[in-house]
Structure 1
Amino acid sequence: MSASTAPATIWDRERVWVTTGGVALIFFAAIEALAVTTVMPIVSAALDGQSLYAVAFAGTLATSVIGMVAAGAWSDARGPRGALHAAVVLFIVGMVIAGSAATMPQFLVGRLVQGLGAGGQTVALYVVIARLYPAHLHGRIFAAFAAAWVVPSMIGPFLAGAVAQYLDWRWVFLGVAVLTAVAFAIIAVRLHGLDLGNGTPQNARALLVRLLLAVVVAVGAVVVGLAADRPDALGWPVAAIAIAVIGAAMLPLIPRGTLRAARGLPSVILMRGLVSAAFFAAEAYIPYLLMEEFGFTPTWAGIGLMLSALAWAGASHLQGRFGDRLGNRRIMLLAIGSILVALVLVLIASAAVTPVLVVVGWGFAGAGMGLLYPRLTVLTLAYSDEGDQGFNSSALSIADSTTSAVAIAVAGLGVAALGGGADAFVLVFVLGIALALLALVPGLRLGHAAESR
């Protein structure tokens, strides 16, 4: 077969550097995500910020919503290049602030800035993929992104725990900031010479309204997290009001019909939000459980997350190869089943039965997410055209981050109310089970777009 007739791949000449740079950005984002989960118990103790443990997770996810909306609008109006540049810079700045923090509030500021960049980076990369890669390669590139978690999953948690235990937790953040800058240089040089489209005219007033609503969503999610530091009589009512405000503010930021699980794209968006909430609210407390109930060191707690991350990457690779053959419904059922098995096992383990159940159980959760996450991204792009790729990509990430932030914050509120201990872990994992079961409703209404075209 001649070069001119060879089938397109994500590694051919016109895409190889974009693929390499994008995978590198995902690679270091994966290291950061795994590292933060591992070292947060150490950071909160070092900075005397145990009451802000949950909001340190939720705040980053919350402000990422602002970055997602801004990057989505920027990408639709002017193309994704500038949005990607700005997002990566914010991500790096946030990491530097967090790594240099002397107090927990300063650390939280860094995490909030980091969230702005992380959210924008994800959306801008999705739009770059939509503009440069044909639809039949979308499953492969997102599988490659997931595969970029393999090495971090092997060394990230262990390395982060070892750095925090033997050096200083600050190097976890500062080191990733430097490496992200190097990774971005790879993709920035190549994108400079590529036509990513000039975008289409956007209604400035509508964009401003969407951005303000994103700010409301982010502030609301942070308020839910901060409610854990208030007395029970005040914390729960404040959290309830904030959640209601978040729900109202999200409506213009997601496709019509999302909250009622309308068939097609709305259900794709809703399911992504619910499974993300179930997974990440529980995972935020997995290292905490291993250290608190089983006496793990930070290094060994990090190792405890490795199986889940490896399972995520492996399952995502299988989805990239066989996803069209399996079909949306079968993937969804396999994924939800795996996540429920994981949550039940760690729920049993929270009674201090054995840490083996935690490590093995959370591996099932990673496998379920690896099957489902890239499939929902492929479906989102398949339901989109050039005029709404930014909006739909940002809606997917907004649902993902907002529901996760709220679920983590609510879990933190419950943990604070119970004063920690085994009962608090039970509450966290029961919340995850309820959210995973609820995800079956939109999961049965995903529909079929031209995802394999």
Structure 2
Amino acid sequence: MTSKTEQVSTPGAAAPRILSRDYVWITIGACALVFLGAFESLAVTTVMPTVSADLGGERLYALAFAGPLATGVIGMVLAGNWADRRGPVAPLYTAVALFIVGLLIAGLAPSMEILVAGRFAQGLGSGGLMVALYVVVARVYPHELHPAIFAGFAAAWVIPSLIGPTVAGAVTELWSWHWVFLGVVILVLVALLMVVPALRGLANHGDATTPWAFGRLGWSVLAAVAVLALNLVGDIPGFGSALAVLAIVVALVAVRPLVPRGTFRARRGLPSVILVRGVAAAAFFGAQVYLPYLLTDRYELSPTLAGLALTGGALAWSLAATVQGRLGARLSSVTAVRLGTGLVFAGIVLTVATAGFRGDALLIALAWVIAGMGMGLMSPRTSALTLAMSTPENQGFNSGAMTVADSFGSALALAVTGTLFTALAGADPFLGVFVLAAVVAFAAAVLSPRVRVESAEDESREQGAS
């Protein structure tokens, strides 16, 4: 297989596709790796109550979820820096190895403490895996195929939300929760074998003069610790709120070196792309967690019916991602981001109005279809914009910043909404959570006009001058 820098266009030849002969196995393998990472995340959500009861680990229940999210930030930064120095091959193999080790530790865990340790390793691996895959995309696929392959990644994230909980529940009932972890190991190895042929020409395709960013790695550790603390300190009597605010401040300070300069100032170009992506993810996932809770508690729907609202949003996300991928250059990335953030805001506002006026539950399901469409439009295009404004020397850092924005934005939103939900227990906690999510979504929509396409060289000069 040739790299994209070696491809020569032939007049009259058919345009390349991500499933054409040159790309079919790398496409299937990369999407399978993304799929398995997403499946594992959703499957664990389903089986964790059983795991906790079996291992007597109720006190570590929250940490089993917060831990991977926190360590994932470290994996993202390390993989990005490593990919800039040596290319994406070694970081990808290492990330997959860490993910497998985490699965094995968790699947064989005799205690909750050991299972949480395995989850920490999973987080390191999954965070590094996504960054390494983004760099592989930049090195293997031509620019015009980026929207299509990122649409594939988006679908690989969404599909597990449709089947993950059911499959995990069936595996647990038929065999044991252990196989929810152990069964994925074999599938990960098969997916990796599909990717290997495309990686042979990418070994050491980096810039060895790029320094090891030990400072950024240290900041990523601090950001991870702060996010983890934010999930744990809220219940401390007397000091919980103060400690939570402190954790937010520390997390924001620590994440600043992990994203392009000017991100928090919404500087036009790549910094605004990263910021809008993180803010939109914070709004969407901060609200989504409470959607089934609202439908089961206030509307007294069954968990299955409440889950259909999330399924509708997931299908809409996948459909919109597919449509934008097929449109390619006919839909500009800047337009897709602006339209997408607007739809996310509209969907959450409709949720607020329905919850506030006790409207029909079908309106909430419709609202989440609208919000899902928005994420499906904007998420693949922010990925494509990031790579378009990156050079081979900073593809790893920029890809890491993009995934850090996703993880950090979502983690921060979930921690804050959790605190708000508890604080408003005597009033209307659902309305408070969705109003906060709507405010965050509005911020993403307002910031989206600052997203614009810069050349990689212009963007690099701007960063250097900042």
CA distance in 2, matches of 1:350, 1:68: 37
Match of 1:445 in 2: 450
Match of 1:201 in 2: 208
More contact order relative to length (CA 8 Å, sep ≥ 6): 1
Residues 318-371 of structure 1 show CA distances to partners (whole Å, capped at 9, x for unaligned) of 111225333344323332232223323444565776543443332222211110
Match of 2:412 in 1: 406
Partner of residue 373 from structure 1, selected from 372, 376, 379: 379
The aligned runs of 1:10-409 (5 Å cut-off) are 10-38=18-46, 56-100=64-108, 105-149=113-157, 151-163=159-171, 169-188=177-196, 190-202=197-209, 204=211, 207-231=213-237, 233-293=238-298, 301-347=306-352, 355-409=361-415
Identify if the C-alpha distance between structure 1 residues 201 and 329 changes in structure 2 by more than 3 Å, giving closer, same or farther.
closer
Q: State the AA in 2 paired with 1:273.
A: G
CA distance in 2, matches of 1:284, 1:102: 30
Identify if the C-alpha distance between structure 1 residues 444 and 26 changes in structure 2 by more than 3 Å, giving closer, same or farther.
same
Would you say the 8 A contact 2:89–2:202 is kept in 1?
no
Would you say the 8 A contact 1:59–1:405 is kept in 2?
no
Q: State the AA in 1 paired with 2:216.
A: R
Residues 238-284 of structure 1 show CA distances to partners (whole Å, capped at 9, x for unaligned) of 11112111222222211110000000000001011101111122223
Match of 2:440 in 1: 435
CA distance in 1, matches of 2:83, 2:270: 20
CA distance in 2, matches of 1:4, 1:326: 24
CA distance in 2, matches of 1:31, 1:60: 14
Partner-residue secondary structure (3-state), 2:31: helix
CA distance in 2, matches of 1:50, 1:283: 24
Would you say the 8 A contact 1:164–1:172 is kept in 2?
yes
Q: Report how many residues are paired.
A: 447
Partner-residue secondary structure (3-state), 2:201: coil
CA distance in 1, matches of 2:446, 2:234: 30
Identify if the C-alpha distance between structure 1 residues 350 and 336 changes in structure 2 by more than 3 Å, giving closer, same or farther.
same
- The Cα of 1:424 is off from its aligned counterpart by 3.0
TM-score with structure 2 setting the length: 0.85
CA distance in 2, matches of 1:108, 1:270: 31
| Structure 1 unaligned residues grouped into runs of 5+ | none
Would you say the 8 A contact 2:144–2:328 is kept in 1?
no
- Which deviates more, 23-32 or 150-159? 150-159
- Which deviates more, 331-340 or 305-314? 331-340
Identify if the C-alpha distance between structure 1 residues 294 and 113 changes in structure 2 by more than 3 Å, giving closer, same or farther.
farther
Identity of matched residues, %: 48
Identify if the C-alpha distance between structure 1 residues 169 and 307 changes in structure 2 by more than 3 Å, giving closer, same or farther.
farther
Identify if the C-alpha distance between structure 1 residues 347 and 409 changes in structure 2 by more than 3 Å, giving closer, same or farther.
same
Would you say the 8 A contact 1:221–1:243 is kept in 2?
yes
Would you say the 8 A contact 1:94–1:113 is kept in 2?
yes
Q: State the AA in 2 paired with 1:305.
A: L
Would you say the 8 A contact 2:223–2:255 is kept in 1?
yes
Identify if the C-alpha distance between structure 1 residues 339 and 321 changes in structure 2 by more than 3 Å, giving closer, same or farther.
same
Identify if the C-alpha distance between structure 1 residues 14 and 62 changes in structure 2 by more than 3 Å, giving closer, same or farther.
same
- The Cα of 1:107 is off from its aligned counterpart by 4.3
- The Cα of 1:104 is off from its aligned counterpart by 5.3
Would you say the 8 A contact 2:29–2:194 is kept in 1?
yes
- Which deviates more, 255-264 or 92-101? 92-101
CA distance in 1, matches of 2:12, 2:328: 28
CA distance in 2, matches of 1:425, 1:39: 25
Would you say the 8 A contact 1:162–1:298 is kept in 2?
no
Identify if the C-alpha distance between structure 1 residues 244 and 392 changes in structure 2 by more than 3 Å, giving closer, same or farther.
same
Residues 189-220 of structure 1 show CA distances to partners (whole Å, capped at 9, x for unaligned) of x145333543112454x511111111111111
- Which deviates more, 45-54 or 214-223? 45-54
- The Cα of 1:444 is off from its aligned counterpart by 1.1
Residues 362-406 of structure 1 show CA distances to partners (whole Å, capped at 9, x for unaligned) of 222221111010000000000001011001110111111112111
Would you say the 8 A contact 1:146–1:316 is kept in 2?
yes
Match of 2:463 in 1: none
Q: State the AA in 1 paired with 2:101.
A: V
CA distance in 1, matches of 2:16, 2:108: 45
Partner-residue secondary structure (3-state), 1:402: helix
- The Cα of 1:90 is off from its aligned counterpart by 1.7
- The Cα of 1:2 is off from its aligned counterpart by 8.3
- Which deviates more, 289-298 or 319-328? 289-298
Partner-residue secondary structure (3-state), 2:265: coil
Would you say the 8 A contact 1:305–1:362 is kept in 2?
yes
Would you say the 8 A contact 2:342–2:445 is kept in 1?
no
Identify if the C-alpha distance between structure 1 residues 401 and 82 changes in structure 2 by more than 3 Å, giving closer, same or farther.
same
Partner-residue secondary structure (3-state), 2:268: coil
- Which deviates more, 302-311 or 361-370? 302-311
Would you say the 8 A contact 2:420–2:429 is kept in 1?
yes
